[in-house]
Copies of this chain bind each other. A is one copy, B any other.
Amino acid sequence: MTLDNLKHAQRQRLLFLDRCFTWRGVGRRRDLTDRFGISTAQAANDFRAYLSLVEDAPEYDAQLKAYVAKRHHRPLAPSSMQDVFEVLDTSSEDELPAALPRANRWLDTHVAIALHDAISNKRKIKISYTSMSSGETAPQWIAPTRFTFDGETIHFRAYSFKRGEFRNFHPSRIEPKIDYPTGEIKAPLPFDLEWHTLSVIWLRPSVYLSSAQAAVVRREYGFSDDLLKVEVRKALEFYIDRRWGLNEPGARLEKVKTELVWPEDNGTLSTRS
């Protein structure tokens, strides 16, 4: 019996239960009935399934009237911070949230649809794009290849016929319209080397930190060795710097070196410091 041969709905419930045990340390049928609107009988079923799946299963504590996870409970699956917060947060509906307003970044649906269409049908599309450096807006044909995500905003990768190279674009810099001229791509596009190259970034706690502070940084980023290894497409490396604040004055992490792994290749070809 594994997670995989369960139905999607029950799997979702067991994963939620898994997070309850992992992050709250306790689980009740109530958690499932509230969240998924199932009956207590079904919740009891799910508990039985979960307890049989996980090793070193939680046990019922009659005092607490709840199942309690073992000290060394091993979750069935990893969880995102968002998922963890959902389990730890105790907001009621009507109250101010304990999370920052999040979805403030906005994406125009017509732009998204036009780009998605161009990507999936391998077509080029004509947009008016505003450069943030010069501040000017100019029309150009591009061939979008992939959407990308830095955790906050959605960007995309495209071949710019104007520049003759692949670049990262920002949907919000496209002038919004209901639809856009599109066309067939005649000659095959060049190979997007930066996209297919892997950047392996090695980070360490800033040398200006005390050893206790460095231990905190290691804990926060989840590494215990000297260095933290981050792997990302070279084309997206810039976003790592910005999002992790690596280039800011008081940065607590600093780059030690960056290795590039080229496609069709498993060896490191180049190292920058």
Contacts and interface: CB of A to CB of B under 8 A. Distances in A.
Contacts of A3: none
Contacts of A112: 23-24, 84, 88
Given A25-B117, A81-B152, A212-B136, A219 B172 contact: yes
Interface stretch (A180-188, A227-235, A265-273): A227-235
Contacts of A110: 71
B146 A81 contact: no
A107 B81 contact: yes
A60 interface: no
A75 B51 CA distance: 39
Contacts of A191: none
B85 A149 contact: yes
A38 B8 contact: yes
**Main SS of chain A's interface residues?**
mixed
Given A88-B147, A108-B219, A222-B105, A135 B210 contact: yes
B116 A88 contact: yes
A41 interface: no
A268 B240 CA distance: 39
Interface string A97-118: 0111111111111101101110
- Copies of this chain: 2
A233 B173 CA distance: 31
Interface residues of A, number: 87
A222 B153 CA distance: 12
Nearest to A217: B172
Contacts of A239: 100
Interface of A: 7-9, 12, 22-25, 36-38, 69, 71, 73, 78-82, 84-85, 88-90, 96, 98-110, 112-113, 115-117, 119-120, 130, 132, 135-137, 146-154, 157, 170, 172-173, 176, 178, 198, 209-210, 212-213, 215-216, 219-222, 228, 230-233, 236, 239-240, 243, 248, 252
